[in-house]
Amino acid sequence: MGYGVVYPKEVFVGAYSPSRRLCEFSVQLSNVPGAIAKVSEILAKMGINVLSGFHVAETGEKVALWSFIVDLTGLEVKSEELLKKIKGLKVVLDAHYSEAKLDGLMIDEMHFPLNALGKRSFLFRVETWGEIINRLFKAFGSGAAFILFSIGEGAGENKARSVTENYGSNGLKALQIILAERVAKGWGVPKVEMFDEERVESTITIRDLFECLPFKGKSKETKSHFFRGYLTGVFRQLFKKDVEITEVECVAKGDENCKFIIR
């Protein structure tokens, strides 16, 4: 498992385009081929540009959801009229819209809770995480490192158990699933440089690790305590052995990536 081609992924929270007339539509569709195309055809014929959105369609489910933000600037189109046209399609089961409350600022208030792989989730900015870490160390000194490691350790154990239960995977395959999820969830882009399952030894590097990015090039010490604990919990749960994990390179120290040695 190594670094592949990755592109930025914008989580659908909203859009900001000053002086533009933005509107969000949330459309429940029949989960059949071409349903989105029929809605898109209406938008295209009216000269309406879709800025961003998300689409959810589970295998076997009859209903899909497509939500999107459109730019109606300069168009003689009323939101109510567009909604009526969309709801008139046979593939559309229901639809609603919301207009920007402030000039050019459209925030998605139509969808809650936020789920990731069916699990309730929430978002933090990387900068917010950095502020949390700074306050922890200010309050608890070096003890903050132990707190973060312990929290990560428990989270890693829970994740390893859930992957085993949900996907029936163990060992290296389960580890690969867990690391792949770190990419999808924005933690960083990991690469397994070396892996010896019999000895339970590995070297893992991770690009743009969220935990260390707030301190990039500003520290003389490694800064990953939570993720180091997370890997510890994952390895112990998957391979049933105690491991020692050391972060030998860190972006906080000016290194290109964060690098972890597992023994």
- pLDDT 10s per residue in the chain (263 long)? 556 788 999 999 999 999 999 999 999 999 999 999 999 999 999 999 999 999 999 999 999 999 999 999 999 999 999 999 999 999 999 999 999 988 899 999 999 999 999 999 999 999 999 999 999 999 999 999 999 999 999 999 999 999 999 999 999 999 999 999 999 999 999 999 999 999 999 999 999 999 999 999 999 999 999 999 999 999 999 999 999 999 999 999 999 999 999 99
Q: Where in the chain is the domain with CATH 3.30.1380.20?
A: 126-262
Q: What is the pLDDT of residue 4?
A: 74
* Residue closest to 221 by CA, chosen among 145, 138, 126: 145
Helix, strand, coil percent values for the chain (each to nearest 5)? 35, 25, 35
Q: How many angstroms separate the CA atoms of 82 and 115, rounded?
A: 29
Phi–psi pair at 177, nearest 5 degrees? -65, -45
Q: What is the pLDDT of residue 7?
A: 93
Contact 162, 181 (CB under 8 A): no
Q: What is the pLDDT of residue 101?
A: 86
Contact 31, 62 (CB under 8 A): yes
Contact 1, 190 (CB under 8 A): yes
In CATH terms, 126-262 corresponds, of 3.40.50.150, 3.30.1380.20, 2.40.40.20, 3.40.50.300, to 3.30.1380.20
Buried b (16+ CB within 10 A) or exposed e, 58-89: eeeeeebbbbbbbbbeeeebebeebbebbeeb
Q: How many angstroms separate the CA atoms of 221 and 29, rounded?
A: 52
- 14-112: CATH number: 3.30.70.260
Sequence-ordered list of residues with C-beta below 8 angstroms from that of 167, at least 6 positions apart, any chain: 174, 177
CB atoms within 10 A of CB 226: 25
Tell me the whole-structure pTM to 2 decimals.
0.92
Q: Where in the chain is the domain with CATH 3.30.70.260?
A: 14-112
Question: What is each CA distance from 68 to 26, 54, 87, in whole angstroms?
Answer: 7, 7, 15
Q: What is the pLDDT of residue 178?
A: 98
Structure-token pair, residue 29? 């569709």
Burial (Cβ within 10 Å: 0-12, 13-18, ≥19) of residue 243: middle
Q: What is the pLDDT of residue 5?
A: 85
Burial (Cβ within 10 Å: 0-12, 13-18, ≥19) of residue 229: buried
